[in-house]
């Protein structure tokens, strides 16, 4: 049985009000659809921690820098509802674009600091779109907990900072990145890779994890990352937009004694792939 699809905000709020009156906790898993096992792992985490679970599906135009990328983003709403059914999701909220952003909508949420480097430098305005829609979805669902994957590491840090700074009454729950058997981080965009490209894509996580191990073993980060870039390009992955070692929380320069993260964004088959891995600095 498919999960019920709810579209009007008024209907969603009626259901949420009923759950809140019963004292039930609500978890939300924000998505843009085209669900895969990574999303389903977030749903399972939400089910384990909350009485009720809402999955949202909204392909947010304000976080796309490229109109073609927005147009090509896979939209599989009814298949998504079928995937969620066996997991016991209470509802799939699929709001209309005009309800999320009516013509008179004039508010943009912007988070500084953590959004500046990496994705922020290569996708101007992207994180304003993310912060704005996440705030709207939190307000619409009135959830107690929100579940985000660690694959979009910088986005996760943005959402944490947003909830903290705005004193939002919601707990942000990070969940581990889910990978295919060859190590590639699961992503809705992977569907757009050609069979040959999908095969070559395995070099991305392999190179990333290898570079992390070398840095942890004490090799200089600069030389290691230069070599890793060359390995990716030799594997047919490129251009590489960034491959950088950063502080795991602030996304600024790494500091000894603090958790670090190695992050990458690169193109393959016209598809932009991102990934990251934890690094323990020696």
CB-based contacts of 13, cutoff 8 Å, min separation 6? 140, 142
Rounded to an integer, what distance in angstroms lies between the CA atom of residue 130 and that of residue 155? 8
Q: What span, in angstroms and rounded, lies between the C-alpha atoms of 15 and 50?
A: 15
Q: Rounded distance, CA 94 to CA 100, Å? A: 10
Dist. CA 47–CA 45, nearest whole Å: 5
Which runs of E-coded beta strand occur in the chain? 5-6, 26-31, 52-57, 91-93, 145-149, 171-175, 240-247, 260-268, 271-279
Pairing of strands 240-247, 260-268: antiparallel
**Which one of 36, 39, 105, 126 is the catalytic residue?**
39
Q: Tell me how crowded residue 25 is: count the other CB atoms within 10 A of its CB.
A: 16
Determine contact, residues 58/34, Cβ cutoff 8 Å.
no
State yes or no: is 36 an active-site residue. no
Q: Which of 42, 19, 22 shows the shortest CA–CA distance to 32?
A: 42
CB atoms within 10 A of CB 208: 23
- Measuring CA to CA, which residue among 194, 150, 193 is closest to residue 175? 150
- Annotated catalytic sites, by residue? 39
């Amino acid at each position: 049985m498919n999960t019920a699809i709810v579209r009007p905000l008024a209907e969603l709020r009626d259901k949420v009000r009923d759950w809140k009156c019963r004292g039930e906790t609500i978890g939300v898993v924000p998505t843009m659809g085209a669900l895969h096992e990574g999303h389903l792992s977030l749903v399972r985490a939400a089910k384990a921690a909350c009485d009720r679970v809402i999955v949202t599906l909204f392909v947010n135009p304000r976080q796309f820098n490229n109109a073609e990328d927005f147009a090509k983003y896979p939209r599989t709403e009814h298949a998504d509802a079928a995937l969620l059914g066996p997991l016991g999701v209470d509802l799939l909220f699929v709001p209309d674009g005009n309800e999320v952003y009516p013509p008179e909508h004039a508010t943009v949420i912007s988070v500084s600091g953590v959004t500046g480097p990496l994705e922020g430098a290569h996708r101007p305005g992207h994180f304003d779109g993310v912060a704005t829609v996440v705030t709207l979805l939190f307000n619409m669902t009135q959830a107690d907990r929100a579940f985000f994957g660690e694959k979009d590491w910088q986005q996760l840090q943005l959402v944490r900072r947003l909830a903290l700074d705005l004193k939002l009454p919601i707990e942000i729950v990070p969940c581990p990145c889910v990978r295919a058997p060859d190590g590639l981080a699961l992503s809705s965009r992977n569907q757009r890779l050609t069979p040959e490209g999908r095969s070559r894509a395995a070099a991305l996580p392999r190179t990333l994890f290898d570079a992390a191990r070398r840095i942890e073993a004490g090799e200089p980060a600069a030389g290691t990352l230069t070599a890793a870039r060359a390995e990716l390009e030799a594997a047919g992955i490129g251009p590489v937009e960034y491959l950088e070692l950063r502080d795991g929380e602030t996304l600024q320069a790494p500091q000894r004694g603090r958790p670090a993260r190695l992050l990458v964004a690169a193109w393959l088959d016209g598809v932009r792939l991102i990934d990251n891995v934890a690094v323990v600095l020696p």
